[in-house]
Amino acid sequence: MGKFKNMIIGKGITIPELLASKIQIRTTCEYTDREAFLFTIALAGVAMCLEKEGLKKEDLRNVVVLFTNEGSFEYNLEDSEAIGYKICLIVYSVYGWRHPKYGGDEEVILMTYLEELIHHFWQIDDEVVVKEKVTQVMNAIFPTKNYTILSFYSSTFLNNELVSQGKEPRF
């Protein structure tokens, strides 16, 4: 594997056993203890739901998770002879959820983490299906909340996404 330029040591994230050998965490920016804690919660919720659905460690693909300031990064191959390299990568822009538009809202941060982890571990591309799965995982994490997809996403947004896929609106 190569290296991300300006990589620093991250801290405070606990990876559940199911995901321990499947996820590598890298960072090119500082993240807060609270952001690390929320990522730990997201990983625990994902692992809990994967196990509940009967998925095993050998069923899961590896991924590198990269925390960045604004989503940009530079990657260098370590092997000077290499002319290609495949990597599964999730990139989080901490500036995005720290921006005044979101104000560091913990629910937004947690859902952002979950969306990308769900895309990867369940291998789902469809944004509406991912958002339905986010709702399912949020309910697993917070069983007394009884969230619905409309707790997090507007019906207009969801229906527009369905229409863009050539599907009928259903929200």
| pLDDT 10s digits, 87-109 | 899 999 988 888 778 777 899 89
pLDDT digits (tens, 9 = 90+) for 14-68: 999 999 999 999 999 889 999 999 999 999 999 999 999 999 999 999 999 999 9
Start-to-end CA distance of the chain, whole Å, equals 43
- 160/36 Cα distance (integer angstroms): 33
Contact (CB, 8 A) for 91 and 74: no
Residues 6+ apart with CB under 8 A from 123: 61
- 134/140 Cα distance (integer angstroms): 10
Structural domain spans, the chain: 3-123
For strands 23-27 and 75-76, give the pairing.
Answer: unpaired
Question: Cα torsion for 107, 109, 115, 120, to the nearest 10°?
Answer: -140
pTM of the model: 0.89
